[in-house]
Amino acid sequence: MSVRDIIILGCSSQQPTRHRNHGAYLVRWNDEGLLFDPGEGTQRQFIFANVAPPVVTRIFVSHFHGDHCLGLGSILMRLNLDKVTHPIHVYYPASGKKYFDRLRYGTVYHETINVVEHPVSCAGI
């Protein structure tokens, strides 16, 4: 049976509350795990949702406001720690390349995962 569901990992926009995290959404579609706008704390929300982060195969960042991207670095580090062997495709606005790099390389760790960047330079994907 194919898996098709949407898991809301957070929906609190800029200000999280005790019960709602910054926005982040996981769409599971067959063998794909599409993570949208991983805000700060997204890694922790996977625990509450009882979902293993290695299901993520693609990450989409709509723009580089903190509530849409500050969880990106920790998710990539977590996938690295989990020794994920499949490529992680990351889509983001091409104009935000320097912000993407800052988030990706913001801490020191030995990167072993295959991150495939897809900077998007036109409107829409």
Q: How far apart are CA 95 and CA 109, in angstroms?
A: 26
Q: Would the pLDDT of 108 be above 90? A: no
What average pLDDT does range 48-73 have in this prediction? 93
Give Cα 54 to chain centroid, integer Å: 11
* pTM: predicted TM-score of the whole model, two decimal places: 0.90
DSSP reduced 3-state for 46: helix
CB-based contacts of 122, cutoff 8 Å, min separation 6: none
Domains annotated for the chain, with CATH where assigned, are 4-120 (3.60.15.10)
Q: Would the pLDDT of 45 be above 70? A: yes
The answer to whether 101 is a known catalytic residue is: no
Percent of the chain predicted with pLDDT > 70: 90
Q: How far apart are CA 110 and CA 2, in angstroms?
A: 35
Q: Quick one: which of 65, 110, 112, 114 has its CA closest to 92?
A: 65
Task: Choose, from 37, 67, 82, 101, the residue flagged as catalytic.
Answer: 67
Q: Give the pLDDT confidence of 20-32 residue by residue, as tens digits.
A: 667 889 999 999 9
